[in-house]
Copies of this chain bind each other. A is one copy, B any other.
Amino acid sequence: MHAEQRQRTRQRLERAGIRRAIFADLNSIKWLTGFNPPVQLGTNFFLGGPPLLWYVDGHFTLIVLDGHAGSVESFGQQPDCSLRTYEGYTIQKPITGGPNLAALLKEVIGARPGSGPIGVEERSFTVYLRETLAGIVERGAAWQPIDDWLVPLRMVKTAEEIAKLRDNFALSDLGHGVVRSLSLTGMREIDVWAEIHSAIQRHVGGRMPLGNDCVVGYRENNIGGWPGDLVIGETDSLIVDLSTLQHGYWSDSCATYYASKPGEEQARAHRMIEEALAFAISLARPGVLANEIDRQVRGFIEERGYPVYPHHTGHGVGVTGHEEPRIVPYNEVPLQAGMVILLEPGTYVPGRWGVRLEDALLITEEGAEVLTTHAKGM
């Protein structure tokens, strides 16, 4: 699992002459190994330390708490990546996950210490862990920050990642189908949200994290936000933007709903945003710059006399819900086949109504394949 990700990373490290490294960002670790821990709600405090991934001379070792070993979904035996665990929760003595982790690191690194500078994700690696590591490796070892190394490698998805994302977009599509089946008039935002969340969890047969927005048009900030107890009237707009987390990867998709008939002004805006999304999709192909799409889609809306959305035109998605390529005014990254991006034009009249429609695309050699199938009409 995720062998191609490790191969890309190995090549990158070898080119830079880095023979050993420690990965500490959970997103890096998920991407490199397929490790897929449950989203932490904060109730499980039987945790000793964060997952870590040690690299030396081409080989990776994933180091996790015993309670998390089950999250190494079909990890199995990988020739280039081992799994090691250490004790967390116990009732017989104080929980000493930190020292247990330190002891295991000492064993793993001692077996094959490697040489040269040590690559470190400094924005995730704690002072405690670096001092622990400094006590294990040879005195005077040099440290080299590698925080942003995987960002460009993560942009183009592997076939395995695309399969995971496809499966996950089907879940957010299912959520939109639920909204479309409801009689929204008189429901509150949170009632709609609870219906969506229940349906998705029942379909999956297990818990499923759910983001992002469920906001009625008459909110002063009607672009996004968590569902509250605001009641939906029969001509109100309701923006529902859904992300699920399956196989360690995020989905994302947005549509705008009306309990019955929207006012003529809203209806016109809705049709315009449908056209803007179709236009945005038509622009997506290898070689086009992210900010060129951004500029053209904003221009499309502006030319038609509507307020232009203040947010991004879109973004990449993967082990994080929002990652490169950002489709924003400054970003000159060219699209490449294998990228998975969201496009989400919108127009908002604060305190009255808003419209946003969003699709996911896989960039192909010829253009783009739309991965989301939810209805976006009125």
B-binding residues in A (CB < 8 A): 38-39, 41-46, 91-94, 98, 120, 122-128, 130-131, 143, 145, 147, 188, 190-191, 193-195, 197-198, 201-202, 204-207, 209-212, 226-229, 243, 245, 250, 252, 310-312, 320-323, 326, 328-330
Contact = CB atoms under 8 A, between A and B. Distances in A.
A126 B195 CA distance: 40
Contact of A41 (B39, B44, B92, B312): B39
Contact of A197 (B122, B198, B252, B312): B198
Given A128-B122, A207-B190, A322 B38 contact: no
30 contacts: A39-B41, A42-B209, A42-B321, A43-B211, A43-B243, A44-B321, A44-B322, A45-B322, A91-B310, A91-B312, A91-B328, A91-B329, A91-B330, A92-B328, A92-B329, A92-B330, A93-B330, A122-B127, A122-B128, A122-B131, A126-B127, A127-B130, A127-B143, A128-B147, A190-B202, A194-B198, A194-B202, A197-B198, A207-B226, A207-B227
A125 B311 CA distance: 31
Contacts of A211: 41-44
Given A198-B194, A227-B207, A125 B123 contact: no
A46 B326 CA distance: 12
Nearest to A313: B91
Nearest first, the 7 closest Cβ-Cβ pairs linking A and B are A205-B229, A43-B211, A43-B321, A194-B198, A45-B322, A122-B128, A91-B328
A312 B45 CA distance: 13
Given A43-B212, A128-B123, A206 B229 contact: yes
A353 to B, nearest CB: 22
User: Interface on chain A toward B: helix, strand, loop, or mixed SS?
Assistant: loop
| Interface-centre pick from A198, A210, A250 (highest chain B CB count, 10 A) | A198
Contact of A205 (B207, B228, B245): B228
Given A126-B125, A330-B94, A202 B207 contact: no
Contacts of A188: 202, 205
Contact of A91 (B91, B228, B311): B311
Contacts of A44: 211-212, 321-322
A58 to B, nearest CB: 25
Contacts of A330: 91-94
Given A41-B39, A243-B43, A206 B194 contact: no
Given A91-B329, A190-B206, A206-B227, A320 B45 contact: yes
A191 B201 CA distance: 8
Contacts of A197: 194, 197-198, 201
A91 B330 CA distance: 8
A133 to B, nearest CB: 10
B245 A42 contact: yes
A193 B207 contact: yes
A41 B209 contact: yes
Contacts of A191: 202
Contacts of A206: 190, 226-229
